[in-house]
């Protein structure tokens, strides 16, 4: 009987220990998610968020004669899935980065900069991403990895707005140079970047894995 009681007692202790571990793990996971969402692990984003809060809401009048209100904001961890979907739509099905690539970058890159344009319904019950500029701010260089505007919102100067804001923030961060890659065949994007002072510094052959297209590496001094 004594052995049986000890066995039951040990099982109870083990079960309580398991519950404590699971609870602790959940709480740690929740805390990690909260920190990532709030941008604690992204010091540059945290600084930019305060500046972006002061910017006015954008108005876009589309061909359907509806006035769309767009909010410019920094991303949170919960935006990653929507960011991946915007990339898929904006790049016509081509994913330069998979969702796990964005998730890994978000978790591990303290220099990551994710800036979004979001459309919200009149009652704020629904929202959708319509544009983004994503990359990183290093000590001396700011690199754009993604500039995307949803096809339904193209032709309204949103790409121009995103690049302009990116360069403004980079200058305020005392960064000396901005850079990016663009497809050799993407003349529209090249025109936009040249408008903002970018020029071709090099060619990267077979850069895009889906068709081995060449990329132009473009740079712009900021000092």
Q: Confirm if 222 and 175 have CB atoms less than 8 A apart.
A: yes
- Is a pLDDT exceeding 90 seen at residue 82? yes
d(CA 28, CA 20): 12
Centre a 10 Å sphere on the Cβ of residue 59 and count the other Cβ atoms it contains: 10
The confidence score (pLDDT) of residue 38 equals 47
The confidence score (pLDDT) of residue 124 equals 62
The confidence score (pLDDT) of residue 169 equals 97
Which of the residue ranges 3-12, 88-97, 113-122, 129-138 has the most confident prediction, judged by mean pLDDT? 129-138
Using 50, 70 and 90 to split pLDDT, how confident is the model at 122?
A: low
Angle at which helix 43-52 crosses helix 158-172, to 10 degrees, equals 120
- Write down the residue that tokens 């398991």 correspond to: 18
Average of per-residue pLDDT across 168-194: 97
Domain boundaries 42-172, corresponding CATH code: 3.40.630.30
> What's the burial of 208, exposed, middle or buried (CB within 10 Å: 0-12/13-18/19+)?
middle
- Is a pLDDT exceeding 90 seen at residue 121? no
Question: CA-based angle 79:144:68, to the nearest 5?
Answer: 50
- Is a pLDDT exceeding 90 seen at residue 217? yes
d(CA 69, CA 122): 9
- Is a pLDDT exceeding 90 seen at residue 9? no
């Amino acid at each position: 009987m004594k052995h049986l009681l000890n066995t039951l007692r040990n099982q109870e202790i083990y079960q309580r220990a398991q519950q404590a571990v699971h609870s602790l793990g959940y709480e740690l996971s929740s805390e990690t998610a909260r920190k990532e969402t709030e941008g604690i692990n992204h010091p540059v984003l945290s600084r930019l968020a305060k500046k972006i809060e002061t910017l006015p809401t954008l108005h876009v009048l589309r061909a359907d004669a509806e006035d769309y209100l767009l909010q410019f904001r920094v991303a949170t961890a919960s935006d990653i899935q929507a960011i991946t979907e915007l990339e898929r739509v904006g790049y016509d099905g081509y994913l330069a980065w998979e969702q796990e690539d964005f998730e890994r970058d978000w978790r591990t890159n303290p220099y990551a900069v994710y800036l979004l344009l979001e459309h919200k319904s009149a009652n704020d019950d629904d929202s959708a991403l319509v544009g983004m500029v994503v990359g990183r701010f290093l000590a001396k260089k700011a690199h754009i990895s993604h500039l995307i505007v949803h096809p339904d919102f193209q032709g309204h100067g949103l790409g121009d707005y995103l690049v302009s804001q990116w360069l403004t923030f980079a200058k305020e961060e005392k960064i000396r140079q901005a850079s990016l890659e663009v497809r050799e065949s993407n003349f529209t994007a090249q025109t936009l970047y040249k408008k903002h002072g970018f020029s071709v510094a090099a060619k990267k052959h077979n850069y895009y894995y889906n068709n081995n297209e060449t990329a132009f590496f473009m740079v712009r001094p900021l000092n």
